[in-house]
Amino acid sequence: MTKSSAASSADGAGRPEGRGAGTGSGTEWETVIGLEIHAQLATDSKIFSGASTAYGAAPNTQACLVDLGYPGVLPVLNAEAVRMAVRFGIAIGAHIARQSVFARKNYFYPDLPKGYQISQYELPIVARGAIDIVLDDGSVKRVGVTRAHLEEDAGKSLHEGLPGVTGIDLNRAGTPLLEIVSEPQLRSAKEAIAYMKKVHTLVRYLQICDGNMQEGSFRCDANVSVRPRGADKLGTRTEIKNVNSFRFVEKAIQYEVARQIELIESGGAVVQETRLYDPDKGETRSMRSKEEANDYRYFPDPDLLPLMLDEEYIEAVGAELPELPDAKAARLMAQYGLPAYDAGVLTASRELADYYEAVARAVPAQAKLAANWVMGDLSAALNKEGLDIGEGRMPAERLAGLLTRIADATISGKIAKEVFEAMWASGDSADRVIETKGLKQITDTAAIERAIEEVMAKNPAQLAEYRAGKDKLFGFFVGQVMKATGGKANPAQLNELLKKKLPE
C-alpha cells in the first residue's frame, strides 16, 4: 500500500487503484474520471432511416440507401429517438433544449459511410442534469451530467477470416445512440462503475435502451487522468474506448490510473491519446490508427433543420415517465418497511421491482419476508440458470402462494425451501407441491405428542441424561421428532410440547 492510498478520503476519492510497482514518491494522487456512455435507443427503425435496428442480421441486410450514404439520399429524424432522449433528460432533471441542432462530425473511416457522423455538437438536446450514486459508506454523491445528445452509430469492421482485408458490415450504421457525458467528477473506478450502473438502471427503467452490453447496446468510453491532490488543473487525460462490461471498465480504469501515476512518477508525461482495453492481457494500449490529430470540422448539418420542441411536448413526455429507481426505492421503504439495502437491490431493475411489488401486494403482512425470498432463493435460482426475472419461470403469484403458506403456518421456513425447489423444477403451485409431497405442517397437538412419546420411548438413555440435567440434549429430541415427522412438525408447537413432555 502506498501512502497515497492509505490517505484516501472518506468519499472514496484519491485511491490510485490497482497500483503497480510504484516508487512511492510521496505525492498523493487524485484520480479524475469522466464517462461517455453510448446507449443504443430501443427504436424499431434507425435514427435517420426506415431500416430495422434488430441485432444479429446477416451483413448489410439492414443497411438501406440512407445508411449506406448513397448519393442523393437524405436523413429524416425518427420521432421516437427524440422522445426517448427527452425522457432521459427529464429523468435526470436536465434542461431540455427548445432548439437543438444536428451537426456533422467529419472524418474518414470505413465503418462511417458518409465520411461524417450526424451528431449534436453545440446545441445538444439534453444538458445539465445529474445522477445520484450511493458510495460504499452509504453516502450519496451527485454526479453532473454535462449533456446527452443524439447521434448515429457507425457500422462494424470485421477482420476475422478475411486475410489481408477488412469486411464492413453497415447493419449497425444509423442505429440511434444517446451519448451521455458526465462531468469529470468521478474519483475512482468504483465510483465510475456505480455511476455507470445507475445510468444502466435508468435507461432500462425508461425503456429507452435494452442495456445489453454483450451486443453493444450500452457502451462506455472513459476519460481518465490523475493529478496531485489539491491541484486545480486537470492532468492530461487519456480516453479508453468502447469497453463493454462493468468489470472491464473497472479494470481498465484501474490499470490506466496505475499506468499514468507510474509514468509521471518515473519522470514521464501522459500523452493525450485514445487507448484500447485488452481484456485478455488486462491492460490498455495506444490505438495507433486513431493517434493522428483529428480535426472533425463540425458544422450544422444542412440536411436537417433545427429541432424545436415546445412546452406542451416536453410536458407530455414528462407526464408519461414511469416511477424512477430512486423514487421507487424510497417508496418501497416507506410502504413496505424495507431497509435501504433491500430497497436498493430490489429497484436495480424495473422488472425486479415490479415482481417484488406483485409478491408483496399478495402477502402484505410478509413484505420483508417477500424481499428476503426475492433477493435470496429466487435470485439464486435465476442466476444459476442465467434467467431474467421477466421470463416467467416463477410468476409472482406463485411465489406469493408459497409465502402465504409460510405465513399461515402450513409449512415451516425450512420446508418452504424444499417446496420452492420443487416448484422451480415442476412449475407447480406451492399448494400442489405441499399436497402431493405431503409436506403440510403438523399442527395437531395430539399427533405431535404421539411422535414425542415414540421418540422418548426409543431413546431412554438420552432421556435419562436430559433429565439428569444435560440440557443440550433438547436439540437432539427436536431433531428426532422432526425426523420422525418428516420435518413437518410445527417448530413452535414442537418446542413447547417437548419442554412440557421431557421433564415428566
Query: What is the smallest separation between the CB atom of 125 and other proteins, expressed in angstroms?
Result: 11
- CA count, 13 A, side-chain hemisphere, 461: 0
> Could you say whether residue 169 binds other proteins (CB under 8 A)?
yes
> Could you say whether residue 44 binds other proteins (CB under 8 A)?
yes
> Could you say whether residue 52 binds other proteins (CB under 8 A)?
yes
Residues between 428 and 447 with contacts to other proteins, criterion CB under 8 A = none
Query: What is the smallest separation between the CB atom of 24 and other proteins, expressed in angstroms?
Result: 35
Contact in structure between 59 and 167 (CB atoms under 8 Å): yes
In sequence order, the β-bridge partners of residue 219 are 38
Q: Indicate the residue among 126 and 338 with the shorter CB distance to other proteins.
A: 126
> Could you say whether residue 72 binds other proteins (CB under 8 A)?
yes
Among 59, 322, 344, 491, indicate the residue that binds other proteins (CB under 8 A).
59
Query: What is the smallest separation between the CB atom of 50 and other proteins, expressed in angstroms?
Result: 3
Among 6, 10, 21, 108, indicate the residue that binds other proteins (CB under 8 A).
108
Give the range of 25-33, 212-220, 292-300, 368-376 binding other proteins by CB under 8 A: 292-300
Q: Read out DSSP for 366-405? A: GHHHHHHHIIIIIHHHHHHHT--GGG-SS-HHHHHHHHHH
Q: Indicate the residue among 164 and 503 with the shorter CB distance to other proteins.
A: 164
Q: Indicate the residue among 173 and 353 with the shorter CB distance to other proteins.
A: 173
Which strand ranges, in their side-by-side order, compose the sheet holding 102-106? 116-120, 102-106, 299-300
Calpha distance 399→55 (Å, rounded): 34
Give the range of 163-171, 372-380, 418-426, 485-493 binding other proteins by CB under 8 A: 163-171
Query: What is the smallest separation between the CB atom of 299 and other proteins, expressed in angstroms?
Result: 6
> Could you say whether residue 56 binds other proteins (CB under 8 A)?
no
> Could you say whether residue 314 binds other proteins (CB under 8 A)?
no
Burial (CB < 10 A; 0-12, 13-18, 19+), residue 90, is buried
Residues 143, 147, 148, 153, CA torsion sign: negative
> Could you say whether residue 115 binds other proteins (CB under 8 A)?
yes
Among 135, 158, 362, 369, indicate the residue that binds other proteins (CB under 8 A).
158
Query: What is the smallest separation between the CB atom of 404 and other proteins, expressed in angstroms?
Result: 43
DSSP state of 301: -
In sequence order, the β-bridge partners of residue 116 are 106
Calpha distance 304→501 (Å, rounded): 87
Q: What dihedral do alpha carbons 210, 211, 216, 219 form, nearest 10°? A: 140
> Could you say whether residue 116 binds other proteins (CB under 8 A)?
yes
9, 117, 126, 385 from 289: Cα distances, Å: 39, 18, 31, 41
Q: Indicate the residue among 70 and 341 with the shorter CB distance to other proteins.
A: 70
DSSP state of 269: -
DSSP state of 306: -
Contact in structure between 300 and 101 (CB atoms under 8 Å): yes
Among 271, 305, 387, 409, indicate the residue that binds other proteins (CB under 8 A).
305
- Residue ranges that bind other proteins, judged by CB under 8 A: 43-45, 49-52, 57-65, 68-82, 101-102, 104, 106, 108, 110, 113-116, 157-159, 162, 164-170, 276, 287-290, 295, 297-308
